[in-house]
């Protein structure tokens, strides 16, 4: 855990948030600035600043985040209409918190290519 990391503090339960699911190694919570009717962030407890910092042996971590997102999408009723999963990597791509997190977005249509 990084003491100055917002998502580490949320994962540790130090900062209250609207948690939709929690596991031993991750937490899923609603984004405070949603970009869609459903906007959930899935965050590992382990501090990793960016997807760029992952290695092949971190595949179980990335896979868990994606599997959790799929389960939350089903629970939120998004699976039938579809949803989007997004990892922003670096500031140029919109990463504003330097702790990996997967965005689950749904409840509206999305265009391609994204912004």
Q: 54-86 pLDDT, tens per residue?
A: 999 999 999 999 999 999 999 999 999 999 999
Give the pLDDT score at 3: 73
> What confidence tens digit (pLDDT) does each residue in 82-106 have?
999 999 999 999 999 999 999 999 9
- In angstroms, the Cα distances linking 45 to 5, 23, 40, 82 are 11, 9, 16, 27
Fold for 6-106, please state it.
HIT family, subunit A (3.30.428)
Residue 63: helix, strand or coil by DSSP? helix
pTM comes to 0.94
Residues marked as catalytic: 101
Contacts of 31 (CB under 8 A, 6+ apart): 39, 40, 41, 103
- For 13, phi and psi rounded to 5 degrees? 80, 10
Residue 114 pLDDT class (50, 70, 90 cuts): confident
Residue 1 pLDDT class (50, 70, 90 cuts): low
> What confidence tens digit (pLDDT) does each residue in 8-61 have?
999 999 999 999 999 999 999 999 999 999 999 999 999 999 999 999 999 999
């Amino acid at each position: 855990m990084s003491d100055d990391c917002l998502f580490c503090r949320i994962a540790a339960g130090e900062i209250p948030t609207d948690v939709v699911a929690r596991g031993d190694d991750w937490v899923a919570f609603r984004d405070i600035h949603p970009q869609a009717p459903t906007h959930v962030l899935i965050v590992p407890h382990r501090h990793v600043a960016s997807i760029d910092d992952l290695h092949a042996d971190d595949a179980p971590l990335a896979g868990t985040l994606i599997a959790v997102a799929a389960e939350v999408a089903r629970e939120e009723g998004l699976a039938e209409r579809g949803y989007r999963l997004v990892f922003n990597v670096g500031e140029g791509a919109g990463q504003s918190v330097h702790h990996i997190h997967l965005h689950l977005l749904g409840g509206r249509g999305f265009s391609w290519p994204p912004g």
